Structure 1
Amino acid sequence: MNRNGWSVLRVWHADVLASRKSVLDTIVAVLDGRLVKKMIAVDAKFLPSATSEER
Protein backbone atom coordinates (compact mmCIF):
# COMPACT_ATOMS: atom_id res chain seq x y z
CA MET A 1 0.00 0.00 0.00
CA ASN A 2 2.80 2.41 0.84
CA ARG A 3 4.42 2.02 -2.56
CA ASN A 4 1.07 2.82 -4.18
CA GLY A 5 0.93 6.19 -2.42
CA TRP A 6 -1.11 5.23 0.65
CA SER A 7 -0.17 6.08 4.21
CA VAL A 8 -1.33 3.59 6.83
CA LEU A 9 -2.31 4.40 10.40
CA ARG A 10 -3.24 1.43 12.55
CA VAL A 11 -4.64 1.61 16.08
CA TRP A 12 -6.17 -1.04 18.28
CA HIS A 13 -9.95 -0.96 18.55
CA ALA A 14 -9.64 -1.13 22.34
CA ASP A 15 -7.69 2.15 22.24
CA VAL A 16 -10.42 3.74 20.13
CA LEU A 17 -12.95 2.78 22.78
CA ALA A 18 -10.82 3.56 25.87
CA SER A 19 -8.64 6.48 24.67
CA ARG A 20 -10.70 8.14 21.96
CA LYS A 21 -9.15 11.61 22.43
CA SER A 22 -5.62 10.26 22.08
CA VAL A 23 -6.54 8.33 18.94
CA LEU A 24 -8.25 11.38 17.44
CA ASP A 25 -5.22 13.56 18.27
CA THR A 26 -3.01 11.07 16.40
CA ILE A 27 -5.33 11.08 13.38
CA VAL A 28 -5.35 14.88 13.31
CA ALA A 29 -1.53 14.94 13.56
CA VAL A 30 -1.31 12.72 10.49
CA LEU A 31 -3.84 14.82 8.56
CA ASP A 32 -2.11 18.08 9.55
CA GLY A 33 1.26 16.72 8.41
CA ARG A 34 2.80 16.78 11.90
CA LEU A 35 3.34 13.02 11.84
CA VAL A 36 5.27 12.19 8.69
CA LYS A 37 7.91 9.66 9.75
CA LYS A 38 7.48 5.95 10.35
CA MET A 39 6.24 5.30 13.88
CA ILE A 40 5.82 1.92 15.51
CA ALA A 41 4.56 1.99 19.09
CA VAL A 42 2.72 -0.40 21.36
CA ASP A 43 -0.64 1.29 20.75
CA ALA A 44 -0.28 2.56 17.18
CA LYS A 45 1.61 2.13 13.95
CA PHE A 46 2.05 4.76 11.22
CA LEU A 47 3.66 3.95 7.89
CA PRO A 48 3.85 6.94 5.55
CA SER A 49 3.45 6.53 1.83
CA ALA A 50 6.61 5.94 -0.17
CA THR A 51 7.83 8.98 -2.02
CA SER A 52 8.92 8.75 -5.62
CA GLU A 53 12.54 8.72 -4.38
CA GLU A 54 11.88 5.59 -2.28
CA ARG A 55 10.22 3.63 -5.11
Structure 2
Amino acid sequence: TAAEAGAAATKPLRATKGRASYLGERSIGHLDPGAVSTSLILRAAARAAGEAGAA
Protein backbone atom coordinates (compact mmCIF):
# COMPACT_ATOMS: atom_id res chain seq x y z
CA THR A 1 0.00 0.00 0.00
CA ALA A 2 0.99 3.63 -0.24
CA ALA A 3 1.30 3.90 3.54
CA GLU A 4 3.64 0.92 3.68
CA ALA A 5 5.72 2.35 0.84
CA GLY A 6 5.90 5.66 2.66
CA ALA A 7 7.01 3.96 5.85
CA ALA A 8 9.70 2.05 3.95
CA ALA A 9 10.89 5.31 2.42
CA THR A 10 11.87 6.58 5.88
CA LYS A 11 14.69 4.04 6.20
CA PRO A 12 17.43 6.18 4.56
CA LEU A 13 16.40 9.34 6.42
CA ARG A 14 18.02 10.83 9.52
CA ALA A 15 15.53 11.43 12.32
CA THR A 16 15.13 15.08 13.29
CA LYS A 17 12.10 14.84 15.59
CA GLY A 18 11.18 12.80 18.63
CA ARG A 19 13.33 10.41 20.61
CA ALA A 20 15.06 9.07 17.53
CA SER A 21 16.53 12.52 16.88
CA TYR A 22 18.92 11.93 19.78
CA LEU A 23 20.53 9.18 17.72
CA GLY A 24 21.51 11.56 14.93
CA GLU A 25 23.30 9.72 12.14
CA ARG A 26 22.71 6.38 13.88
CA SER A 27 18.99 6.69 13.10
CA ILE A 28 19.74 6.25 9.39
CA GLY A 29 18.81 2.76 8.24
CA HIS A 30 15.91 2.32 10.66
CA LEU A 31 12.23 2.64 9.84
CA ASP A 32 10.37 5.50 11.48
CA PRO A 33 8.17 3.87 14.14
CA GLY A 34 5.42 6.45 13.72
CA ALA A 35 5.23 5.81 9.99
CA VAL A 36 5.17 2.05 10.50
CA SER A 37 2.48 2.17 13.18
CA THR A 38 0.39 4.55 11.07
CA SER A 39 0.58 2.19 8.10
CA LEU A 40 -0.59 -0.67 10.34
CA ILE A 41 -3.50 1.41 11.64
CA LEU A 42 -4.51 2.41 8.12
CA ARG A 43 -4.33 -1.19 6.90
CA ALA A 44 -6.53 -2.34 9.81
CA ALA A 45 -9.01 0.49 9.17
CA ALA A 46 -9.20 -0.36 5.47
CA ARG A 47 -9.75 -4.03 6.29
CA ALA A 48 -12.48 -3.16 8.80
CA ALA A 49 -14.16 -0.83 6.32
CA GLY A 50 -14.08 -3.56 3.69
CA GLU A 51 -15.64 -6.05 6.07
CA ALA A 52 -18.32 -3.56 7.10
CA GLY A 53 -19.13 -2.85 3.46
CA ALA A 54 -19.49 -6.56 2.72
CA ALA A 55 -22.10 -7.03 5.46
User: Same fold judged by TM-score > 0.5?
Assistant: no
Structure index of larger Rg: 2
More strand by share: 1
Which of the pair has the greater relative contact order for Cα pairs under 8 Å at 6+ separation? 1
**Normalization by structure 1: what TM-score?**
0.28
